[in-house]
A and B are shown apart, each in its own frame.
Chain A
Amino acid sequence: MSDTIRAELFKLRKRPTAWVLLATAVVLSQIFGYLIPYLSYRTGDAQTVGGNVPRGDVLASTLPDQLVINSIGGFPVFAGALALVLGALMFGGEYGWGTVKTLLTQRPGRISVLSGQLVALGAALFVGVAVLFALSAASSLGIALAENQAADWPTVTDLAAGFGAGWLVLAMWASLGAVLGVTLRSVALPIGLGVVWVLGIENLVSAMAGSVLTALRPLRDVLPGVNAGSLVGAVMPDRVIDPPPGVTSSVAEPRALLTLLCYLVVCAAVAAWTSHRRDVV
């Protein structure tokens, strides 16, 4: 399987769209995590920003001790959608190009090929999360130095928990993209459905369950995005300002963790089962 993983990582490394997705995630996280807050801190002269947030808090939200939330705060929704796109591209694309038959006629069996691809996807997400953490750390350190603020880093435990939760959230979304790509044998439809789901349906159900239709809560509490947001909400250390959209506390941490793991395992199993028994035509 290691040959398969290396080949898949090579493919990803050479694939421009994979880099576009990473660049998008980086730009989004930098703009919303650092650039906008820092600019509004620098340019505002009132004591509060955006009406009611104290200026000092806005600056504090960009400092190193907020690294975890600034790195993974966007994962439940925005980076999650990008991860889903990556999964769909990686698995659905093979069908459009007819490369499935090329891979399956070399040597490894179908399960071995699919496992190798999933592992490579997980490894790529690991690298992506590491890049986001590293760049966030660099920006927060830069702001701390520029503003003569203390650079208090999160504890190793908090960092590890945040990193792990962030990776799991992206892996869960990516595996949903992957299973849609495999079962629908295409790229466009999975991406369309996935984005409508992540950005539309999740929000709609959460909003309705939170207000008018409390009967929807059991449904809301099994949604992938809600559980992802709950896990991220649970692992971030004390925060200074409101977290980004999608981060919630609807589901308790152990349950959120378990739900995400279930999604991951079920997606992998369905993808494996489908690709194992289907004719490649």
Chain B
Amino acid sequence: MTAPRPAGTVADPVAQADTVVQVRGLTKRYNERITAVDGVSMSVRRGEIYGFLGPNGAGKTTTLRMLLGLVAPTGGTVSVLGRPPGDPAALARIGSLVEGPGFYPYLSGNDNLRVVARYAGVPASRIGEALLSVDLADRARDTFATYSLGMKQRLGVAAALLKDPELVILDEPTNGLDPAGMRDMRRLVRSLGASGRTVLLSSHLLGEVQQICDRVGVIDRGRMLAESTVDQLRGGTELIVAATPPDVARAQLESMHEVESVRPYDGALRVRADDRHTALINRTLVSAGVAVTELRRDERQLEDVFLAMTDHEPDRQEVDDV
């Protein structure tokens, strides 16, 4: 086992007070060949929106299933809302949508939620509100089988919200949604976070995660690569400078002590320097007789970081044109 701590270790109680999900050395081995999750440790704090990132087959869904008690871990410890996974008392406070919505095709959206509400032990009066929050109220009387992909997904999210849950676990919630639906979903997730709920959301849509998540965990091939805030992960921003003649511009920039680094990129220069030095850089270049044709800040996208992290030799041989 590759767990950093032996199974059964209890996390310290102080950290647990506002840690909603605590995972240590979690491992799932399906058989000799497939280790879906390999020694994953992560912690989700109360009230945050946590993004769980990883490429296809990274082990996101498997990890979320283990948090919900659907899949038994091979090793490691899991505590969700202070309880073991799948514990009824914890489940009652968790709303989840894992790997697509599962509903009865012969029941209407409304009736499907009635079944879920009964199982969850919540009053049927919550159904209307849940349907409204995903914008499905006007189709609630139609049978689930007649729903479009996006409508099915919305119903899944509505079901996850029925319990008025403390913790919401969403596995790729924007799957199948159109751009407006995605935007609505982002708003919904943000509003869940704003109302004090904890959201654990898996995705490979990095723009989405970048926009709404407080912290992210990056998983690849079953292993956790990083866990930090989005900003930390992205690192600083860069300044893109297009100027002629480029060699003079480059020499000038490299001579400035405010500039950390300069590298050519796509016919221009990428300059690493603090925000507040932008004007000074411009002035320096201009006074050195360089014609500046473009000067803009470029945020390093989460996508770049993600691809850099999860790009591995055996699987991908793409040549970067940097």
CA distance A16 to B145 in the complex (A): 13
The interface residues of chain A lying within 8 Å CB-to-CB of B72 are 277, 279
Q: Does A102 make an interface contact (CB < 8 A)?
A: yes
Q: Hey, what's the 0/1 contact readout for A133-171 against B, CB within 8 Å counting as 1?
A: 000000000000000000000000000000000000000
Contact: A10 with B106, CB < 8 Å? no
Residues 13 to 53 of chain B near chain A (Cβ within 8 Å)? none
A56 interface contact, C-beta 8 A:
no
**Is B70 a contact partner of A3 (Cβ separation < 8 A)?**
no
**Interface residues on chain B, size class:** 20 to 34
Within 8 A of B (CB), among A15-61: 15-17
Name which residue of chain A comes closest to B87, CB basis.
A109
**Contact of A106 with B120 in the complex, beta carbons under 8 Å:** yes
**Chain A interface helix/strand/loop/mixed:** helix
| Chain A residues whose C-beta falls within 8 Å of the C-beta of B65 in the assembled complex | 101, 279-281
Q: Is B82 an interface residue (CB 8 A)?
A: no
B residues within 8 A CB of A109? 86, 88
Q: B residues 60-113 with Cβ under 8 Å of A?
A: 65, 68-72, 86, 88, 91-92, 94, 96, 98-107, 111
With a CB–CB cut-off of 8 A, which chain B residues contact A6?
118
B115 contacts which chain A residues (CB < 8 A)? Answer: 7, 10-11
Given contacts A6-B118, A105-B91, A106-B116, contact A279 B100 (CB under 8 A): no
Tell whether, in the assembled complex, residue A281 and residue B71 are in contact, meaning their CB atoms are under 8 Å apart: yes
A104 touches B (CB below 8 Å)? yes
Q: Are A107's CB and B103's CB within 8 A? A: no
Interface contact B119-A108, CB-CB below 8 Å:
yes
Interface residue ranges of A253-281 to B (CB < 8 Å): 277, 279-281
- Pick from A78-86, A92-100, A187-195, A223-231 the stretch touching chain B: A92-100
Asked if residues B107 and A280 are in contact (CB atoms below 8 Å), the reply is no
B131 within 8 A of A: no
- A residues near B104, Cβ cutoff 8 Å: 11, 15, 97, 99
A3, A10, A104, A281: the one within 8 Å of B69 (CB): A104
Residues of A contacting B69 in the complex (Cβ-Cβ under 8 angstroms):
104-105
The listed residue (A16, A98, A279) touching B106 by CB distance below 8 A is A16
Query: How far does the alpha carbon of A113 sit from the alpha carbon of B69 in the complex, in Å?
Result: 14
- Tier of interface size on chain A: 20 to 34
Of B99, B105, B121, the residue contacting A107 (CB under 8 A) is: B121
For B111, list chain A residues within 8 Å (CB). 10, 14
* Interchain pairs with CB closer than 8 A, number: 88
For A11, what are the chain B residues with a Cβ–Cβ distance below 8 Å?
104, 107, 115
Chain B residues near A107 (CB, 8 Å)?
88, 91-92, 119-121
Asked if A10 meets B102 with Cβ closer than 8 Å, knowing A101-B70, A102-B159, A107-B91, the reply is no
* A196 in contact (CB, < 8 A): no
- What is the CB-to-nearest-CB distance from B264 to chain A, in angstroms, rounded to a whole number? 49
Which interface residue of B72, B106, B107 has the most chain A CB atoms within 10 A? B106
Q: Judging by beta carbons under 8 Å apart, are A279 and B118 in contact?
A: no
Say whether A10 contacts B119, CB under 8 Å.
no
- The answer to whether the Cβ of B114 comes within 8 Å of any Cβ in the partner chain is yes
Q: Given the complex, which residues of B lie within 8 Å of A204, measured CB to CB? A: none
Q: Are B88 and A103 in contact (CB-based, < 8 A)?
A: no
Q: Which of B99, B100, B107, B163 contacts A14 (CB 8 A)?
A: B107
How many angstroms from the CA of A281 to the CA of B28 in the assembled complex?
13
**A103–B119 touching, CB < 8 Å:** yes
A183 within 8 A of B: no
A contact residues around B101 at 8 Å (CB): 98, 102
Q: With A and B bound together, what is the CA distance between A106 and B119 in angstroms?
A: 6
For the complex, is A250 an interface residue (Cβ under 8 Å from B)? no
Q: Is the CB of A104 within 8 A of B70?
A: yes
Residues of chain B contacted by A97 (CB below 8 angstroms) = 102-105
Asked if B102 and A4 make an inter-chain contact with CB atoms under 8 angstroms apart, the answer reads no
Q: List 27 A-B contacts (CB under 8 A).
A: A10-B111, A10-B118, A11-B104, A14-B107, A15-B104, A16-B106, A17-B106, A97-B103, A97-B105, A101-B68, A101-B99, A102-B101, A102-B159, A105-B68, A105-B91, A105-B94, A105-B98, A106-B92, A107-B91, A107-B92, A107-B120, A108-B119, A113-B119, A279-B70, A279-B71, A279-B72, A281-B70
Extra contacts, 19 of them, besides A101-B65, A106-B121 (Cβ < 8 A), are: A3-B121, A6-B118, A7-B119, A10-B114, A11-B104, A16-B106, A99-B103, A101-B68, A102-B102, A104-B69, A105-B69, A105-B70, A106-B91, A107-B121, A108-B88, A113-B119, A280-B65, A280-B70, A281-B71
Seen from chain B, the residues whose Cβ lies within 8 Å of a Cβ on chain A are 65, 68-72, 86, 88, 91-92, 94, 96, 98-107, 111, 114-116, 118-121, 159, 163
The 9 closest A-B pairs by CB, nearest first: A98-B102, A7-B118, A106-B119, A280-B70, A106-B120, A102-B102, A279-B71, A99-B102, A107-B92
